[in-house]
Chain A
């Protein structure tokens, strides 16, 4: 709850200031929006830390290998970073760079999931 209130206290003034600055210096408004996104994400990830620890415990209990869980976590991290980069680019009106950032994120996520796909393939091979 405290995190949510802090996030609101970051986002609302940032939106107001950005709206006030947009006419005179649009670049500064863009930097302000990026800073607000950065701070909010930082606050949110502080709350995610405990959830991630619990997920690790859950995977231990369920007997899921830590390699599988780490691949999933890596993919989530890649998605967060690429989404942030793409949205900042889109705010600046550069949709080509945003698409490129999303494509890079997709490629990196596929690369991170490669060991999982290999495991699935060997499992299928063992069944046949």
Chain B
């Protein structure tokens, strides 16, 4: 868990945003939507692992 997680998520986000604009400009709205959803799922999969490790740290630290 470090600074590079933020850059990873930002890179995926900007890539997805650019692809979304490109695909929707070329008239492929469905593929643009699919790209957005795929990007969201990928980032969510990364984030869930980090949230799990944060919560396990909180659990062990505060004795929950």
Residues of A within 8 A of B (CB): 6, 9-10, 13-14, 17, 20-21, 24-25, 27-29, 31-32, 34-36, 38-39, 41-43, 45-46, 48-49, 52, 70, 73-74, 76-78, 80-81
Contacts and interface: CB of A to CB of B under 8 A. Distances in A.
Interface in B8-64: 9-10, 12-14, 16-17, 20-21, 36, 39-40, 43-44, 46-47, 50-51, 53-55, 57-59, 61-64
B14 to A, nearest CB: 6
A36 B6 contact: yes
B36 A25 contact: yes
9 contacts: A20-B14, A28-B12, A35-B5, A38-B47, A39-B2, A42-B57, A73-B61, A77-B59, A77-B61
Contacts of B1: 38-39, 42-43
Contacts of A20: 14
Contacts of B13: 17, 21, 25, 28-29, 31-32
Closest 6 pairs (CB-CB, A-B) = A77-B62, A24-B17, A17-B10, A28-B13, A73-B62, A21-B13
The SS class assigned to the B binding surface is helix
B30 to A, nearest CB: 16
